[in-house]
Amino acid sequence: MTVQVIASAPGKVTLFGEHAIVYGEPAIVTAISRRLYVKTALRSDKNLKISAMDLKIPGIVLTFISDTGELTLETDYGRVVSAVSYIKKAVELTANYVGEMKGANIEVRSTMPVGAGLGTSAAVAVATVASYAYALGYELSQREIAKLGHRTELEVQGAASPMDTSIATYGGTLYIKPRTGEPIIEHLKLKNEYPIVIGYVERKSTTKELVAKVKRLKRKREEIISTIIRLIGKVTEEAKKALLKGNVVEVGELMNINHGLLDALGVSTKELNDLVYAARQAGALGSKLTGAGGGGCMIALAPGRIAEVSTAISIIGGAPMDTQISAKGVTVEIQK
């Protein structure tokens, strides 16, 4: 019977520090209870058959063409290039890393919306690395998975901080500060409950476009934008202290400040701002956009007000999602 390996990785929300982390400032990110699953079953040929209905990929065949481990397409997959590229690159890098290239059937399922800023591309990369390596007989360490996952994002996107792939691998709540070589990663032991509602609106720009937008603005107004970026870093440092003390009110206040600074960087939208303010009016202690912005997701810290904040978000056209934070990182399970 064919052995199937299922790896799953969590989505994430950035609590503090998105965009600023691209310029070396710290960020705080937490894994959420919504997950993405990658199932791998090895084949006897060199084909890689990908099916990911939740990512709108009906069935695609790629083939290892040479000993360099490069995968080439047998079919034209047109508009789905982006989602497939992460799976393709993660398999290529893993095959090269362990020095074995075998065909496989790969099936992806997701319990979170794709491309919404919840870190689905990192979850795809990390779960594919873990699942494919395990199917080949290699149990990679979390550090190896995180590194290969980050290289996947870097090669597909051109630029990416290690934030999303680190949280998809390690889970929990992480304080991450980039530095040359490997980032500083600290697991934060939260001292309180932080009930969060995620609100989602349609995304108008990609992460890549938004990162480029901030870069352009920074080039044009170096002093002002660098100051805002440094300030976001300071907010994140204060938030770390508040989270460790369990001071929910202070965490909420700092989320509001962080949102204002992100808006100043030009990455929020009217729709996101509407959700952010509706959540506060409905009793959230703090709310901010999360991820790259340009639409996508916002989060609201709403102890005792989850129902009210969810209703407020849906009344003005957002889709509320309830979730737990500090969820588990990548896990692997075998089905015989």
- β-bridge pairing 47-52 and 104-110: parallel
Contact call for residue 167 and ligand MEV (CB under 6 A): no
Q: Is 164 a catalytic residue?
A: yes
| CB distance 150 to 183 below 8 Å | no
Q: To the nearest whole angstrom, how small is the minimum distance from the Cβ of residue 305 to ligand MEV?
A: 26
Cβ proximity to ligand MEV: between 160 and 197 the closer is 160
By CB under 6 A, name the one of 7, 13, 21, 93 that touches ligand MEV.
Answer: 21
| CB distance 106 to 51 below 8 Å | yes
Which one of the spans 17-25, 227-235, 236-244, 306-314 is the region binding ligand MEV (CB under 6 A)? 17-25
By CB under 6 A, name the one of 22, 62, 272, 332 that touches ligand MEV.
Answer: 22
CA-nearest of 233, 150, 191 to 326 is 191
Catalytic entry in 164, 263, 274, 322: 164
User: What DSSP line would sit under 237-252, residue for residue?
Assistant: HHHHHHHHHT-HHHHH
Contact call for residue 114 and ligand MEV (CB under 6 A): no
Structure tokens at 333: 């399970």
Helix (H, G, I), strand (E, B) or coil at 291: coil
By CB under 6 A, name the one of 156, 163, 229, 235 that touches ligand MEV.
Answer: 163
By CB under 6 A, name the one of 55, 123, 140, 211 that touches ligand MEV.
Answer: 211
Which one of the spans 34-42, 54-62, 157-165, 281-289 is the region binding ligand MEV (CB under 6 A)? 157-165
Which one of the spans 14-22, 188-196, 243-251, 328-336 is the region binding ligand MEV (CB under 6 A)? 14-22
| CB distance 323 to 34 below 8 Å | yes
Contact call for residue 25 and ligand MEV (CB under 6 A): no
Cβ proximity to ligand MEV: between 9 and 48 the closer is 9
Using CA atoms, how far residue 326 sits from 131, 171, 192, 302, in Å, is: 22, 6, 12, 16
Q: What sign does the dihedral 91-92-93-97 (CA atoms) show? A: positive
Q: x-or-dash pattern for ligand MEV, window 289-318, by CB under 6 A? A: --xx--------------------------
Q: To the nearest whole angstrom, how small is the minimum distance from the Cβ of residue 89 to ligand MEV?
A: 16
| CB distance 13 to 297 below 8 Å | yes
Neighbouring CB atoms inside 10 A of 182's CB total 13
Q: Which residues pair with 177 in a beta bridge?
A: 184
Name the residues annotated as catalytic.
164
Q: Contact positions toward ligand MEV, by CB under 6 A?
A: 18-19, 21-22, 117, 160-161, 163-164, 207, 211, 291-292
